[in-house]
Copies of this chain bind each other. A is one copy, B any other.
Amino acid sequence: MGMIGGGSDAFIGAVHRIAALMDGQIELVCGAFSSKPEKSRTTGEELFLPPDKVYGSYQEMIEKESRLQEGERMDFVSIVTPNHLHFDPAKLALEHGFHVVLDKPMTFDLSEARRLKKLVDETGLVFCLTHTYTGYPMVKEARYLATSGKIGQIRKVYVEYPQGWLSTSLEKTGNKQADWRTYPKRSGMGGALGDIGTHAANLAEYVTGSKITKLCADINAVVAGRVLDDDASMLLKFENGASGVLFATQVAAGEENCIKIRVYGEKGGIEWKQDDANSLVIRWMDQPVEIRRAGGNVGYLSSFALHNTRTPSGHPEGYLEAFANLYRNFTLTVRAKMNGKEPKAEWLDFPGVEDGVRGMLFIEKAVESGKSDQKWVDVGD
């Protein structure tokens, strides 16, 4: 793996590295960690990389690595830069034959997203978009239950992502995370919409196996002086006839990061939330509540849930393991392709370029709806 972005003070870069390394199947072999060469260099040192494997720019890295032989060169790139710096390195990597892991939201705007999808489709390379929450085993179990008819035809979907960290003008205090996320030239059209709204929308579409077809949004910049939205609520309609509600806010003061989804079918409902990530609550009509629990030894779980656990039940796995599951499944798929083998369904179960297009569409349509007097906006494909 070669990494683009992720200098030593970046939150998500460190997370990507932990996730990639945890299972002992991926090695960090090179990096272009920052547009500032000095910072890239010191980050490389901290990561025990030899100096010649720390590049001054992603262009240099992709070009030089592509001239090396398989086994010597990196097998894929992981891109963890701010949104406006997603498309170019991804494009260059794909053009040079490298598989790509890319942080979400996929691109700066929808147009870039569609171009990237075209490129992925044409090259046939493996592409992973890190919608972390779909990596949790109990989210996979939720999807299994919702899409296999176990809870009957789906009627209602409620998904929420409350955060509070942008309740004040944090971006004016020098906080780097807050800075780029609230700055349109780096973040794109969406603030909270892009940062966490896309996670919520992706989770809803993943768990239900159904697309959002219409939305009606109330989009706000709550904190004075903020240009991009920090708060979004919307009514949803789904392809399968279900309706629902999504909210994503970064001004719910005191809230941490507890993304949560509830899906109700004719026969029962399922609930998952990150704060109790190893449980899946299933409520049935006229039967006791059922709680399924993550764990490699749990006989009643689906193969998708089991494949994404490392420990027996009662040994809580969390955010980093969910993230690592994306890397693991991506890697298993890459390796299968490199070995000319057919990847298993469980390996292919990671978010890809189509999810990225959906995310950018979601942002654009939500922003459009927020400005409209009409109730419903069609989301399209």
Q: Tell me whether A189 is interfacial, beta carbon within 8 Å.
A: no
Asked if A314 and B152 make an inter-chain contact with CB atoms under 8 angstroms apart, the answer reads no
Which of A34-42, A91-99, A239-247 binds B? A239-247
Say yes or no: A310 contacts B18, CB within 8 Å: yes
B23 A156 Cβ-Cβ under 8 A: no
Question: Is A332 an interface position by the 8 A CB rule?
Answer: no
A30 to chain B, nearest CB (A): 14
> Is residue A345 within 8 Å, beta carbon to beta carbon, of the partner chain?
no
Indicate if A313 sits at the interface (CB-CB under 8 A): yes
Which chain B residue has the least Cβ–Cβ distance from A292?
A: B288
Contact (Cβ within 8 A) B21 A266? no
Contact of A252 among B24, B269, B282 (CB under 8 A): B269
Known contacts A216-B375, A235-B216, A314-B275; A254/B285 CB under 8 A: yes
Question: Please, which residue of chain B has its CB at the minimum distance from the CB of A242?
Answer: B222
Cβ–Cβ contact A14 & B253, under 8 A: no
Q: Give the docked Cα–Cα distance between A218 and B244 (Å).
A: 9
Within 8 A of B (CB), among A243-296: 243-245, 247, 249, 251-258, 262, 264-269, 274-278, 282-293, 295
Question: A321: CB under 8 A from chain B?
Answer: yes
CB interface residues, A 136-152, toward B, < 8 Å: 151-152
In the complex, are the beta carbons of B251 and A264 less than 8 A apart?
A: yes
Given A249-B156, A319-B311: A283 touches B269 (CB 8 Å cut-off) = no
State whether the Cβ of A312 lies closer than 8 Å to any Cβ in chain B: yes
User: A10 within 8 Å of B by Cβ?
Assistant: no
Hey, which chain B residues are within 8 Å of A222, CB to CB?
155-156
Whether A318 is near chain B, meaning CB under 8 Å from some CB there, is yes
Instruction: Check A11/B312 contact, CB under 8 A, given A216-B216, A373-B375.
Output: yes
Q: List residues of chain B with CB within 8 A of the CB of A254.
A: 264, 268-269, 282-285, 289
Q: Which residues of B contact A17 (CB under 8 A)?
A: 24
Closest chain B CB from A257 CB (angstroms): 3
A72–chain B nearest beta-carbon distance, Å: 15
B299 close to A310 (CB less than 8 A):
no
**Does A317 belong to the interface (CB within 8 Å)?**
yes
- Partner of A318 from the list B11, B48, B317 (CB cut-off 8 Å) is B317
- Within A295-320, the residues touching B (CB, 8 Å) are 295, 297-300, 310-320
Interface string of A91-118 (1 = CB under 8 A from B): 0000000000000000000000000000
**Using Cβ atoms and an 8 Å threshold, which residues of chain B touch A318?**
278, 315-318, 321
- The interface residues of chain B lying within 8 Å CB-to-CB of A264 are 164, 167, 249, 251-255
Residues of B within 8 A of A278 (CB): 318
0/1 string, A311-342, CB within 8 A of B gives 1: 11111111111000000000000000000000
A231 within 8 A of B: yes
Please encode chain A, from 20 to 63, with 1 for each CB lying within 8 Å of some chain B CB and 0 for all others: 01111000100000000000000000011000000000000000
Query: Beyond the given A290-B290, A320-B320, could you list 7 further A-B residue pairs with CB under 8 A, ordered by the A residue number?
Result: A168-B266, A216-B216, A245-B247, A253-B265, A255-B264, A256-B313, A311-B319
Selected A-B contacts with CB under 8 Å, 14 pairs: A14-B310, A18-B24, A163-B314, A165-B297, A220-B243, A231-B243, A253-B268, A254-B264, A254-B268, A256-B312, A256-B314, A275-B316, A286-B300, A311-B319
Those 7 A-B pairs whose CB atoms lie nearest each other, nearest first:
A254-B283, A256-B314, A257-B314, A316-B318, A289-B291, A315-B319, A318-B318
